[in-house]
Amino acid sequence: MTRELRPAPAVDASNVVARATALCKSYGVGEARVVALDRVDVAVRAGELTAIMGPSGSGKSTLMHCLAGLDSADGGEIWIGDTEITALDDRELTRLRRDRIGFVFQAFNLVPTLTALENITLPLDIAGRRPEPGWFTRVVDAVGLGDRLGHRPSELSGGQQQRVACARALVARPRIVFADEPTGNLDSRAGAEVLDLMRLGVDTFGQTIVMVTHDPVAASYADRVLFLADGRVVEEMADPSAEKVLERMKRAEGAR
Amino acid sequence: MMLRLTLRSLAAHRLRLLLTAVSVVLGVAFVAGTLIFTDTMDGQAGDIAGHLGRNVAVEVRAKDPGGRTKGVSVPVPESVLDGVRGVAGVREPVGVVTGYAALVGKDGTAVAAQGAQNPGSVSQTGGNWIPGGDHPLKTGRAPNGPAEMVVDEATAKRGGFRTGDEATVRFKGADRPMRIVGLVGSGDLAGRTLTLFDTPTAQRLLLRPGDFTAVRMASDGVSESVLRGRVAAVLPGRLEAITGTQLRTELRNDLATLSYVGGFLTAFALISVFVGAFVIFNTFSMLVAQRTRELALLRALGASNKQVSRAVLGEAFAVGVVGSTLGLAAGTGMAAFLQVILNGGATSAPAFSGTAVAASYVVGTTATVVSAYVPARRAARIPPIAALRDDVAPPQRALGRRVVTGTVLTALGGLAVLAGQLGAGLMAKALVGLGATLVFLGVTALSPVISGPVIELLGKGFPRWFGTPGLLARRNAQRSPRRTAATAGALMVGLALVGTVNVLGASMKASVSRQIESSFVDDYFVLPVRGSSIDADAIRRAASTPGIERTTPTYTGTVDLNGSRLEYSAGDLPTIMAPVAHRMAAGDLNAGTDGVLVESDVASAHHWKVGTILSARFPDGGGQDVRVAGIYPLVGLGNVMLPESLYKAHTPLPAAHSLSLKVRTADAATLRALRRSLAGYPDLGIYDRSGWKKEKVQSLDQMTTQITLLLALSVVIAAIGVANTLALSVFERTRELGLLRAVGVDRGQLRRMIRLESILIALFGAVLGLLIGLGFGIALQHAMAGLGFDVLVVPVVPLALCAVLAGVIGVAAAVWPARRAGRMDVLTAIAHE
């Protein structure tokens, strides 16, 4: 079987926070076998907001889950910083997620029994670390929840909940934050607030963020967009705008 | 269509089905176990009573043989037998002899009865074998002559004897060799051994030649009561005639020693239904909440309100029937367990009555369907749109009504308990009981309301001690007050009863110990086993033992004083009464030969004063005037005290119920000598002060332990209920747990979180239960202070231990749910719908 090997995007290796090489992942066996990732090579650059886009079934969520140590790969290597994570056991992966990775999910991001503030400090509390006071104040200010910090998630709007989730991801200062369709459940205004906050995290705090989305507007906030199709990275776009992304998506749609 | 859906839904969620069914099975198992056990015990007693004395129309015996010296002090002379032969309607009158006789095993000790728990509760009975009587021969032939006997099968087997063997029989006074010439059945003995002789031998060895314990007769057609009247007319004054029916009732009551347990168990079965319904209701509420989306989807697709609730109810019914069946099976096992702990071994096959089976199904199915009704109605009200939204929870009713109901019930109950303290007698006790029940219901209603603050308090240190898992555990336990309260409620019921029983038990023990301290005047105490007594010869032997300075027998019986029948104790009053001599309400201890001492409340009830002359009638038919010489305080000695001379003057065959011995020097040699002189009386126990106290306290301890063990069963059920709730909670919170794992909570921390939540719920139930139990125990002790339970002891260590145990139960209950949560795959959990 011959395969066109697409070289990894040319990046300065010292600037790479997370990297996957020849990443393979499939589900099911025999006839029902579905290849989600087909020898994918990606590199996430530090201090950038990278968006991963692709149609349903393109493997974008699987890619993110593997990079974040939530799902195991069938083959290939994944590096978070200088740690190769495919060989780690559950305990080490948990610690990795706790100390070096932040998460923002599409929904159900917050623990309902904890207040907004407690949710923000949750990863730190679990690790038994104290937030750096100055840093903590800056992040919490950026979230802009003001006096609602003592409220439970059920008393917050969807947008507020997602912003709290962003703050939780940022406050622990992880190497990398993974956001899985963070605006998928929000109206455009609330979505914009969440994306602004993520942008702020990258620009002001120098945070590295990887975001999976299928919304061209959300992707336009990114520094770089990776397009996935059929388990492979098929294109990379720098300085995306919503129009450019939409155009690209239409093209892909037409090509099918 | 909906039926198919119901069945599909049941099959598709096996775990859910299992958890619900477990709650039903547990509830039903308890009810069934209790009923089957009670039926079995009842059946035993009933079989025997139906069998014993079945041909007897009338029995003649000494008046009121119910005292501790049963039927021994006043025998029935042989002349009575001739007398009743002349009465029209009497058929086949026979003299019955009973007494103490023990088969001695090859190891030299008396063969113990089946199911014997302690020596004091067994009677080794000897008697005369009567053709056509209660004990027909199974093998061999009737005993004939001074050296032959028949023995019951089980006792012979345990002793390793067969028909034709020579065996030693221990009588009061002497061991004798006898030959076993036949065996009788043992099925009806309930803790007795039986050795039977021919009548002259039995009279000579067990009683006195020419005397019987009782005379029984059949009727040739005349009704029992008519015949009783005719027989009574020819009897001397100290004897009475009773009908066969009364005799059988008495025999049955004698055998139904577990009747207190039976009543207790019935109450307990009711409680367990209550607890079981709690668990079932709780489970169904949770299940419906979980299925909100599924049910809403049905609604969106056009299912009517009614169809949805019918589907839920149908599911409940199916679960109820299956659960009841399994519960009935589990209950059978439990009945066997009850026999082991209450009866010293499973002595008979479980008896299934229709009631037990019906009750199991009715309770199991009804409780399940009723419990599912509220959630079903709630489910039917779910708006179809809920199917499309993510996080709908069925509306929770506010707790406001609970606050009002709970507060009113608790307050009323508290008042009733207080009122019970002021009153006296049965009415007061009933009030305390009613109040206790009300308080219980009130606290149950209030428990969801108070669960929040109480758990906050109990788990105050959790975040500091256990970090974030501790905080999350506390919040989770507070999350659904109703669920927490209902889960803890089952534990609360059990521990409230444990608390009550232990406070009462400890108080009784202390009260009895104190009574013994103040009434044990000498060095040794001799006491016969149940149903036996100390005869004059034994008293003489004890008195003539070297080293014994003084021997004081105490006798008991009943006497009519001015027409009131009163229980008396008799003996050397200055010695027996020495501990209360300085507390006499009036008069003194010098009663002379015709004086009596009267208890203060009896005296005041009859307006008797020192110097009052009373007309006394004794069971032997004799009567004389006696003088009130002194009035003594309530000390648990009985209503009246007679001088020994008065007792002896009216008792043909004196037999003491206890012997107090004072020694010159209390040393091992004296005790050895005493044991030697009483060696011929295997039915007599020799106790020193501490041994006697131990004996008394042991039986109370045993009772407390038995009841606590029973209650432990309910605690086990409650623990499984906790596990059930937790497992469902874990299932319900799958996504949340996944989130926690994603942000870095490790498996250990997750398990710890669930364990801590479990501990908090268990502790909540335990604290409430123990506090209620403590209150009830104190209230009951107060209410019974007049009966001699005048010392209140709060057994702090056992109760604290119970609280600790509740924590352990919490840990145990969390094992499985925690493991499940720990094993959860992070990604699947996050994606969980």
Q: How confident is the model at residue B392 (pLDDT cuts 50, 70, 90)?
A: very low
- The per-residue pLDDT for B420 is 76
Least Cα distance to B72 among B183, B172, B197, B182 occurs for: B172
- For residue A94, the surrounding DSSP H or E stretch is helix A90-100
Give the DSSP letter of residue B459. T
- For residue A50, the surrounding DSSP H or E stretch is strand A49-53
Gap from A70 CA to chain B (nearest CA, Å): 6
Beta-carbon count within 10 A of B246 CB: 16
C-alpha span between A255 and A252 (Å, rounded)? 5
Least Cα distance to B562 among B632, B638, B627 occurs for: B627
Contact yes or no for B556/B629 (Cβ under 8 A): no
Q: Is A103 on the interface with B (CB under 8 A)?
A: yes
- Indicate the domain borders of chain B: 1-57+225-395, 58-224, 451-520+689-833, 533-682
Place of tokens 């705008």: A241
Question: Residue B298: is its pLDDT beyond 80?
Answer: no
Side-chain half-sphere exposure of B788, counting CA atoms within 13 A: 14
At B403-456, the pLDDT tens digits run: 888 888 888 888 888 887 776 556 676 777 788 888 888 888 888 888 889 999
Residue range B169-198: average pLDDT?
79
Residues 6+ apart with CB under 8 A from B731: B15, B16, B290
Enter the tokens of residue A68: 């974040």
Mean pLDDT over each residue of chain B, to the nearest integer: 79
> Is B471 in Cβ contact with A118 (below 8 Å)?
yes
Side-chain half-sphere exposure of B336, counting CA atoms within 13 A: 7
- Max intra-chain CA distance, chain A: 61
Residue range A90-94: average pLDDT?
88
What sign results for the dihedral spanned by CA atoms B461, B467, B472, B477? negative
- For residue B659, the surrounding DSSP H or E stretch is strand B658-663
Contact yes or no for B326/B30 (Cβ under 8 A): no
C-alpha span between B732 and B729 (Å, rounded)? 5
Least Cα distance to B724 among B764, B761, B753 occurs for: B761
By the 10 Å C-beta count (0-12 exposed, 13-18 middle, 19+ buried), A111 is classed as buried
Give the DSSP letter of residue B650. T
C-alpha span between B548 and B749 (Å, rounded)? 72
Question: Backbone dihedral region of A226: left (phi > 0), alpha (psi from -120 to 50 degrees) or beta?
Answer: beta
Nearest chain B residue (CA) to A103: B743
C-alpha span between A231 and A223 (Å, rounded)? 22
- The per-residue pLDDT for B190 is 54
At B255-294, the pLDDT tens digits run: 544 445 556 666 666 666 666 676 677 777 777 766 766 7
3-state DSSP assignment of residue B568: strand
Second CATH level (architecture) for the domain A15-110+175-255: 3-Layer(aba) Sandwich (3.40)
Least Cα distance to B648 among B801, B536, B803, B782 occurs for: B536
- The per-residue pLDDT for B253 is 62
Beta bridge partners of B99: B126
Least Cα distance to B569 among B591, B544, B585 occurs for: B591
For strand B623-632 and strand B239-243, is the pairing parallel, antiparallel, or unpaired? unpaired
- The per-residue pLDDT for B770 is 92
Beta bridge partners of B534: B656
C-alpha triplet B325, B326, B328: angle, nearest 5°: 65
Higher pLDDT, A225 or B38: A225
C-alpha span between A215 and A222 (Å, rounded)? 12
Contact yes or no for B113/B159 (Cβ under 8 A): no
Write the CA distances from B635 to A107, B142, B515, integer angstroms. 75, 50, 8
Least Cα distance to B755 among B466, B451, B489, B460 occurs for: B466
Contact yes or no for B754/B473 (Cβ under 8 A): yes
> Is B830 in Cβ contact with A94 (below 8 Å)?
no
C-alpha span between B677 and B395 (Å, rounded)? 82
- The per-residue pLDDT for B275 is 66
Gap from A86 CA to chain B (nearest CA, Å): 16
Cβ-based contacts of B475 with chain A (< 8 Å)? 113-114
C-alpha span between B597 and B569 (Å, rounded)? 10
> Is B749 in Cβ contact with A105 (below 8 Å)?
no
Residues 6+ apart with CB under 8 A from B706: B261, B341, B342
Contact yes or no for B496/B770 (Cβ under 8 A): yes
Contact yes or no for A19/A44 (Cβ under 8 A): yes
C-alpha span between A69 and A20 (Å, rounded)? 12
Least Cα distance to B443 among B393, B474, B403, B398 occurs for: B403
Nearest CB among B467, B740, B746 relative to A111 is that of B740
Q: How confident is the model at residue A1 (pLDDT cuts 50, 70, 90)?
A: very low
Nearest CB among A65, A103, A113 relative to B743 is that of A103
CA B468 to chain centre: 47
Contact residues, chain B to chain A, C-beta under 8 Å: 390, 467-468, 471-472, 475-476, 478-479, 735-736, 739-747, 749, 826-827, 830
Q: Which of B363-367, B538-542, B637-641, B800-804 has the lowest mean pLDDT?
A: B637-641
Q: How confident is the model at residue B3 (pLDDT cuts 50, 70, 90)?
A: low
Residue range B582-601: average pLDDT?
83
CB pairs under 8 A between A and B: 69
ipTM of predicted complex: 0.85
By the 10 Å C-beta count (0-12 exposed, 13-18 middle, 19+ buried), B800 is classed as exposed
Exposure string over B419-446, b if 16+ CB within 10 A, otherwise e: ebbeeeeeebbebbbbbbebbbbbbbbb
Higher pLDDT, B705 or A89: A89
Cβ-based contacts of B740 with chain A (< 8 Å)? 111
Question: Residue A146: is its pLDDT beyond 80?
Answer: no
Contact yes or no for A95/A80 (Cβ under 8 A): no
Nearest CB among A107, A108, A122 relative to B743 is that of A122
Best mutation target among B478, B743, B750 (most A Cβ atoms within 10 Å) is: B743
C-alpha span between B403 and B411 (Å, rounded)? 12
- Tell me the CA end-to-end span of chain A in Å, nearest whole number: 22
Q: Which of A208-222, B119-133, B262-276 has the lowest mean pLDDT?
A: B262-276
Question: Residue B196: is its pLDDT beyond 60?
Answer: yes
Crossing angle between the packed helical segments B747-783 and B425-458, to the nearest 10 degrees = 160
Residues 6+ apart with CB under 8 A from B147: B176, B177, B178, B179
3-state DSSP assignment of residue B735: helix
Q: Is A126 on the interface with B (CB under 8 A)?
A: yes
* Length of chain A, in residues: 256
Least Cα distance to B202 among B212, B193, B192 occurs for: B212
Contact yes or no for B25/B323 (Cβ under 8 A): yes
